[in-house]
Amino acid sequence: MRIDAHAHGIYGLPPKPANLESYIDACRTRGIDKIALIGGEEAMFEMQGKCPDFVIPIIYLDIDTAQPADVRRVMDKGARGIKFIYPMRSYGDDAYFPLYEEINRLGGTIVFHTGYVMVGLFDGATSATAVPSYRKPSLVDISDMRPTAIDRIVRGYPDLKILLAHFGNPWWEECWKMIASHKNVYADFSGGTAYRKSMKLWSEMFAPDGKLDAATAGKLCFASDFCYFLDDNPFGFEPFIEFYERFFDRVGMPDELRLRINSGNSRHLFGQSVA
């Protein structure tokens, strides 16, 4: 079984592709059994309703405007996690702790975008005339999303479940340290950079001098950052499957850990049954 812990999609009525059942069957044939689908509240719950055995809803909330009541609302509706990206302060700032406290109280998981955000991602997302100049999307500061910010959060909430998306690109060592040091912090190789790095980087990080660090490697999750439900390039997750398999082989990953990375950790984070 393989769960994609970081997925996106195209939404509308009707959804694309039109035959969802056939598309999901094809994804499963190619190795993806479920996806943690990240996006806005309305679209995520709509897609979860259409694909209840395939979609795990992860709801994006604006970390600078959301309130604990927003967390309660989406968790009560069935959200399995909350996604944060593009903060106006470091993730470790006191201003965000009421949100973390509520997610922790409800037993939820936070998916933190860590590291680089592609140029242009937020362009046009907010009217420049409607917000102060410092809040313009183009002024995102990726240093506010460094993995080390998570350390302060976890010291306050050691049972809070956290997934660090994109392995902290380019702060790879920081991300490694967070998952190695904290019991409920996990990370993935999703996105366009980590899976293009030399396998030597990852093998030395997780199997230094050829000896597998099983405890830390076991904190990884399979994830792609691929956009599902597309008519063109419908199975663009396949290069990520190939990358993870090469990584597993390179470091000598035993079957039990492969299963944990491919699905077990996601089931833990998002409350999924084995079936």
The secondary structure of 146-163 as a DSSP string is -TTHHHHHHHH-TT-EEE
pLDDT of residue 231: 79
Torsion from C-alpha of 147, 193, 117, 28, nearest 10 degrees: -90
CATH for 3-270? 3.20.20.140
pLDDT at residue 274 in the model: 44
**Structure tokens given for 112:** 């933190």
pLDDT at 230: 82
Residue with structure tokens 């998981």?
Answer: 109
Distance CA 51, CA 47 (A): 6
What is the per-residue pLDDT for 165? 98
Residue of 183, 185, 153 whose CA lies nearest to 167 = 185
Neighbours of 120 (CB within 10 A): 9
- pLDDT value of residue 130: 44
Q: How many CB atoms lie within 10 A of CB 153?
A: 22
Q: What is the mean pLDDT of each run of 10 residues along the chain (275 residues)?
A: 92 61 96 96 92 96 96 97 95 98 97 89 48 59 96 97 98 98 98 95 97 98 94 91 98 98 98 60
pLDDT at 140: 83
- Give pTM, 2 decimals: 0.92
